[in-house]
Amino acid sequence: MFKRTGLRITKRLIHDVPKLKGQYKYETSGIEGLYSPEGFKGAWTDYQKFLTMNLTLLTNGTENEFKSPYQILLNTAKQTTEQHIFHYASQAHNNHFVFQQLTNKSEASKTQPSRNLMGRINDMGFKNLQELYDQIVKLSETMNGQGWIFLVENPDKSLKLIQCNNDGTPYFYGKNQSLDLNGGISEQTYEKYLELKNQVEENSRDFTLPILGINLWDHAYINDYGINGREEYLKNLWSSLNWDVINGRLFEL
Amino acid sequence: MKIQNHTQKIIERTSSFLKSGVIKQKPAWYDVVAAHPPSTDLTKNAKILGYSNYQDPLETKRSNQTRVKSKKIDSSKIHAIPKIKLFEDQLRNYFYAKHPWEFSRPKILVENEGNETNKCDWSHLLQLNKPLDGESVVQRTLWLIKNEKLSLNEAYDKSRFEFYNIRMREELQSLNAKEEGMMYGSLFAEDNLSKGVALEQEFVDDWAKLASEQTQIFQTTRSTNKFSDSEGNEPSKSLFESNNDIEYGDKN
Amino acid sequence: MSLRLIFKRYQSYSLSKFSNLEELKLNTSDFKGLFKYSTLNELYFQRGEKIVNELNLQLIENKISPPSSLNELIKLTINKPELIKIYNNATSLQNLNFFFENLKESSDYSFPVIDSNEILKSPILEDLEEVNNNFNIDKDLKDWIISSFGSILQFKSLLLNSAHSINGNGITWLISQPRNDESLKFSSFSSNFGNKDKLSIVNTYNNGTIDDSLRSNQLYKNQKQKELKENLKLEKEPEQQEVVEEEFNPILGTIEEAEFQNLFNEKSIIPLLAIDASPRNYLKDYGVFGNQRYLDNVWKCINWDIVKQRTPKKDSQNFSFDYE
């Protein structure tokens, strides 16, 4: 439908860390109320460098070389032999997505969800933002390992929360990775698994789009909050969200 | 008149021309040149490249021959671009001869400026500007020889084992990333193995059809041959053929 | 299956006290060769404490009187979705104990700043003979490793590469598992450890347990259960039952089907060594780029005496997974 016309860009490039808005300030003084300069370096500058460098090494001289992490993750999601490339692409995209929506606490407090967004959140059954936050905390507690939580928009414009274990992506159900099959598998999980399997077999398409992302990887909080500091990190993260950015992600007519 | 290019012969020729009357007057330079004949031939002739010092002198000089045949010059050789022989090429050939599967990796030949390899720093094998391949091993080997003063064998072995290590690491990464993803509920419509089997199956099916037709044709021609064999000798049969006989016999 | 534990009085779990770690805690000194003190404290003592507290709390909440060994508790809770928190904490604790038990300090160490150049760095090549000669462990164990993996160097690179390939939380295990009959026929190897066992390397992720007999055929069990249920439904409405002729499908089955059919028999797996490759272990002291360096250090810090102790005994072939 939206085929790209015109010249194809075929210049070979190296994946590199994108510059955030206000990156220089963050590097010297951190993100107020969330990261110290070291914490910011670990979670963004270093980690993103780690991801993009590895992505470059793995995609050099292949068709994925010209593509953005987002395109690469879509391209590799179904390939069983390219899951390591998927990992770096998905992580790089998710991390960028999350950092785009962060800002200093003082600035964040000036922003709030738009009426449209708040209405949709209310439709999910949450009376206010606090309830949404509580639900996110609850989800984060059930996630034992690394992962992400996304607030996503369904094709029917309703919102929902999904948790993606490890490098899961919100864009494709086959790689959501919202199940944890490492321990005991409950009947409920098995039903979900079968449902997914059906979807995959039918090759149905996925139009989910993320609105808000929460990074639960150790990289995001270990420097400032310690190995066991996930809860405190989440609290601070919630008050550092730039709702203007998040509002802009919602599709509006 | 033919263009003359033998300077030493110029006096000789002019003399004979004078004697025979082709030229009536002595040229102005005649006496001077006769007194000081040119010692060297200054004309520049095209040389045949690729002449080897180790060639058999008897063959080229033909010293025992009384009449020297004028050599025919192969003009195509004069204009041929000489083969550039580099040490790297030998290494490259050697590497790819020993690792033929490296050829199966797809490779993009498009370059930005053509000098991508100049950006590479071969103090390590992995490069951000170029994929890891046989060329990396070659360049790394050259770097090791130059900078770490290793012998060719040592340098080649070192870079090649580094190459193996990185490939092994990557292979396990690929395998385990899939496993890890599946433990978190990743699902794939088809894996490469079953895809390969399915593709192969198409050809097997075609072949099976073709083979059964061919077998039938073979069977009928052979049975007619059998009858036409006037001496009544049984045609020699292999074990498999005899089995086929029974099978088709039932059908017919 | 119900928890038949009501007879026992409440019992709580505690973090294993390893004398070497306790001593380090007393002197607030680094775990030489691997962790700075602050990291060790967070990784083992604080995290362990947190897990133990949660575990005990949940046991009381759910009114469960736990069995004496963690492994029993895991066995009891793995198939109970309502007790998932107990299961998660129990395996976390077990894995944590197991990993720290097989570590010892090593003499040479430093914590250099590792930057992005680390990714491009060429791997350090080691000499086959040298690695073999420097690997001073019990001879039987060494022979066993060599016969299973080819050489010590091969074993080392497989072990460390497996750990390196873990992206999220996870553990790489060295395990001893019974050989299947097929491979036994071709095996000329016999050692004091018995013909039936071979060494392998396995990864588990998040709160996975290494015990294959519990873990492996989960999906299969669920499938069977579902089929059972559906069969019951069908029996009620027999007219729906139609015999559908199955088409011949020449395509090979999926891996899943293979797993269902024969891979996972009740295997008794004995873990010998655990390497925790989760990011929390290296992020603090080695940084984002320090995964490989951390694993290289872990190799130097493996306590092979403990690994040896965990190996199955010569005369008995029946082992249990327990340790304390």
- pLDDT digit string, tens, across residues A130-171: 999 999 999 999 888 899 999 999 988 899 999 999 999 999
Residue B178: what pLDDT? Answer: 92
Confidence band (pLDDT; 50, 70, 90) for C131?
A: confident
Instruction: List CB contacts of A68: < 8 A, sequence separation 6 or more.
Output: none
Residues of A in contact with B110 (CB under 8 A): 10, 12
Mean pLDDT of chain A: 89
Give φ, ψ of B145 to 5 degrees. -65, -40
Q: How much of chain C exceeds pLDDT 70, in percent?
A: 74
Please give the model's pTM, rounded to 2 decimal places.
0.79
Residue C225: what pLDDT? Answer: 76
Domain hosting A151: range is: 2-248
Q: How much of chain A exceeds pLDDT 90, in percent?
A: 67
Does residue A123 sit within a domain?
yes
Beta-carbon neighbour count of residue B11 at 10 Å? 17
Confidence band (pLDDT; 50, 70, 90) for C318?
A: very low
Do C194 and C317 meet the contact criterion of CB atoms below 8 Å apart? yes
A233 has pLDDT over 90: yes
Higher-pLDDT residue of B189, B178: B178
Task: Give the lowest-confidence range in A220-224, B63-67, C23-27, C295-299.
Answer: B63-67
A109 has pLDDT over 80: yes
Confidence band (pLDDT; 50, 70, 90) for B56?
A: low
C239 has pLDDT over 50: no
Sheet bearing C270-276, strands edge to edge: C197-205, C170-178, C270-276
Higher-pLDDT residue of C247, A52: A52
Q: State the greatest distance between any 2 C-alpha atoms of chain A, in Å, as a whole number.
A: 52
Confidence band (pLDDT; 50, 70, 90) for C259?
A: low
Residue B91: what pLDDT? Answer: 94
Q: State the greatest distance between any 2 C-alpha atoms of chain B, in Å, as a whole number.
A: 112
In angstroms and rounded to an integer, the radius of gyration of the C-alpha atoms of chain A is: 18
B231 has pLDDT over 70: no
CATH for C121-215+264-317, options being 3.40.50.720, 3.10.20.340, 3.55.40.20, 3.40.190.150: 3.55.40.20
Domain count, chain A: 1
Higher-pLDDT residue of C311, C108: C311
Inter-chain residue contact B176 with C121, CB threshold 8 Å: no
Confidence band (pLDDT; 50, 70, 90) for B15?
A: confident
Residue B232: what pLDDT? Answer: 47
Rounded distance between C-alpha atoms, residue A93 and residue B38, angstroms:
81
Give φ, ψ of C198 to 5 degrees. -130, 160
Most confident of B45-49, B93-97, C14-18: B93-97
Rounded distance between C-alpha atoms, residue B200 and residue B195, angstroms:
9
Residues of A in contact with C276 (CB under 8 A): none
Q: Does B84 touch chain A (CB under 8 A)?
A: no
Rounded distance between C-alpha atoms, residue A171 and residue A152, angstroms:
9
Inter-chain residue contact B112 with A178, CB threshold 8 Å: no
Mean pLDDT of chain B: 79
pLDDT (average), residues C311-315? 68
B131 has pLDDT over 80: yes
- Closest residue of chain A to C40, computed from CA coordinates: A227
A126 has pLDDT over 50: yes
Residue B22: what pLDDT? Answer: 85
C320 has pLDDT over 60: no
Residues of C in contact with B155 (CB under 8 A): none
First to last CA, chain A: 19
Min Cα distance B117 → chain A (Å) is: 13
Residue B85: what pLDDT? Answer: 87
Sheet bearing A209-215, strands edge to edge: A159-165, A147-153, A209-215
Do A176 and A170 meet the contact criterion of CB atoms below 8 Å apart? yes
Q: Which residues of A105-130 are buried (b: 16+ CB within 10 A; e: fewer)?
A: eeebeeeebbeebbebbeeeebeeee
Higher-pLDDT residue of C324, C171: C171
Beta-carbon neighbour count of residue C222 at 10 Å? 19
Q: Does C68 touch chain B (CB under 8 A)?
A: no
Confidence band (pLDDT; 50, 70, 90) for A184?
A: confident
Most confident of A179-188, B124-133, B218-227: B124-133
Q: How much of chain A exceeds pLDDT 70, in percent?
A: 94
Confidence band (pLDDT; 50, 70, 90) for C4?
A: very low
Number of A–C residue contacts, CB under 8 Å: 114
SS3 call for C197: strand
Confidence band (pLDDT; 50, 70, 90) for C312?
A: confident
pLDDT (average), residues C198-220? 80
Residue B52: what pLDDT? Answer: 55
Rounded distance between C-alpha atoms, residue C32 and residue C17, angstroms:
18
Angle at alpha carbon of residue C302, lines to C300 and C307, rounded to 5°: 150
Residues of C in contact with B201 (CB under 8 A): 250-251
pLDDT (average), residues B5-26? 82
- Closest residue of chain A to C75, computed from CA coordinates: A184
pLDDT (average), residues C81-107? 90
Helix (H) or strand (E) holding C56: helix C47-61
Rounded distance between C-alpha atoms, residue C234 and residue C250, angstroms:
29
B238 has pLDDT over 90: no
Q: Does C314 touch chain A (CB under 8 A)?
A: no
Tell me the per-residue pLDDT of C261-299, one tens digit each, with 9 for 90 and over.
555 555 678 899 999 999 999 999 999 999 999 999 999
Q: Which of C116, C126, C157, C165 to mutate to probe the B interface, most B CBs <10 Å?
A: C165
Min Cα distance A182 → chain C (Å) is: 4
Beta-carbon neighbour count of residue B103 at 10 Å? 10
Residue C289: what pLDDT? Answer: 94
Task: Give the lowest-confidence range in A51-55, A192-196, A248-252, B217-221.
Answer: A248-252
pLDDT (average), residues A83-110? 94
**Per-domain residue ranges for chain C?**
2-101, 121-215+264-317, 218-251
Give φ, ψ of A211 to 5 degrees. -110, -40
Residue C14: what pLDDT? Answer: 85
Higher-pLDDT residue of A252, A134: A134
SS3 call for B16: helix
Do C30 and C37 meet the contact criterion of CB atoms below 8 Å apart? yes
Residues of B in contact with A65 (CB under 8 A): 108
- Closest residue of chain C to A142, computed from CA coordinates: C85
Does residue A253 sit within a domain?
no
Q: How much of chain B exceeds pLDDT 90, in percent?
A: 32
Inter-chain residue contact A183 with C91, CB threshold 8 Å: yes
C249 has pLDDT over 60: no
* Helices marked H in A77-208: 83-100, 105-108, 115-123, 129-142, 187-202
Min Cα distance A89 → chain B (Å) is: 13
Tell me the per-residue pLDDT of A210-221, one tens digit each, with 9 for 90 and over.
999 999 999 999
Do C48 and A228 meet the contact criterion of CB atoms below 8 Å apart? no
Q: Which of A83, A85, A172 to mutate to probe the B interface, most B CBs <10 Å?
A: A83
Instruction: List CB contacts of A88: < 8 A, sequence separation 6 or more.
Output: A51, A52, A54, A55, A58, A69
Q: Give the torsion sign (CA, A152, A154, A159, A162).
A: negative
Higher-pLDDT residue of A252, A203: A203
C323 has pLDDT over 50: no
A37 has pLDDT over 70: yes
Residue B190: what pLDDT? Answer: 78
What's CA B175's distance to the chain center, in Å? 35
Does residue A199 sit within a domain?
yes
Mean pLDDT of chain C: 79
